[in-house]
Chains A and B, each alone.
Chain A
Amino acid sequence: MTAVMAMESVPVDTWHERVHQVKQRGFGFFDFLTAVDRNSFVEVVVHLVREDLSDSYLISTMLSNENLHIDSIETLFPGAGWHEREVGEMFGVKFEGNDMQKLLRHETLGLPPLRKNIVLSARVVTEWPGAAEPEIKQDGRKVGNPSRRRQRPPGAPESWLQQ
């Protein structure tokens, strides 16, 4: 794959312009566009590659949680439209200029599931099977004297697990 990767973070109002400039500098192959939830803001990232794959360019921008709007780059790279719709569905970002049709989720389904403040309801209503021990039965019954401290499921925030 590519040897070098330039990285740059740009203000959101220069997003479209900057992506256009980088494309004109020879990074004409659209690899992907995605987003990362950084808690206090959402980072949108696009990865562009030179057509001979000799190097690539990562451009990112930060969107404040209060204003998840950004210009679409679909006119520069038609393939980006699909990625923008996915980011819209999963992170609640609105790409201006993209029709933002739903890809996978039904219109009426609520909050964007990849935001970290969204509680994954299956994790809350399901009992974690890992709490069982040789001395603790799956239904919570204790036999013998279980010594170790109670295990918690990895990756699930404490606040989801309080009953």
Chain B
Amino acid sequence: MIHSFIALLPDKCTSCMLCVRECPAWCIHLDSHTEEVTDAGARRPKKINVLDSFDIDYSLCMYCGICVDVCPFDALEWDQHRALISDSRADLTLGITQLTSENDSAN
């Protein structure tokens, strides 16, 4: 496995913010909101976090892997996408769709 990319598994992410806070490069940005859901049979609705956006700025990421290590829900993992090439810095910030490992367009 080449450690060349951090992939996000959005269904596992609970928006706990741990990776964002531990990233030494401050290059992860996350937005989320809370929603109330009622489980079948539960008396009261509970609050859950819903992920709105998750971006990694690969112009700053130094591939230290701390985010992968700290995620308590295994929502981040190493992936072997190729290194990104672009002449625009904005292109190096990837969002949820591009960070999802099944998506091969993020090469």
Residues of A within 8 A of B (CB): 126, 128-130, 132-135, 137-138, 143-144, 151, 153-155
Say whether, besides A134-B34, A134-B49, A151 and B29 are in contact (CB < 8 Å): no
Say whether, besides A132-B17, A132-B20, A138 and B29 are in contact (CB < 8 Å): yes
How far apart sit A128 and B17, CA to CA, in the bound complex (Å)?
Answer: 12
Residues of B within 8 A of A151 (CB): 17, 21
Residues of B within 8 A of A126 (CB): 26
Tell me whether B21 and A153 are in contact (CB under 8 A).
Answer: yes
Q: B19: nearest residue on chain A (CB-CB)? A: A130
Tell me whether B21 and A133 are in contact (CB under 8 A).
Answer: no
Residues of B within 8 A of A155 (CB): 24
Q: A156: nearest residue on chain B (CB-CB)? A: B26
Tell me whether B17 and A137 are in contact (CB under 8 A).
Answer: no
Say whether, besides A138-B29, A154-B22, A130 and B34 are in contact (CB < 8 Å): no
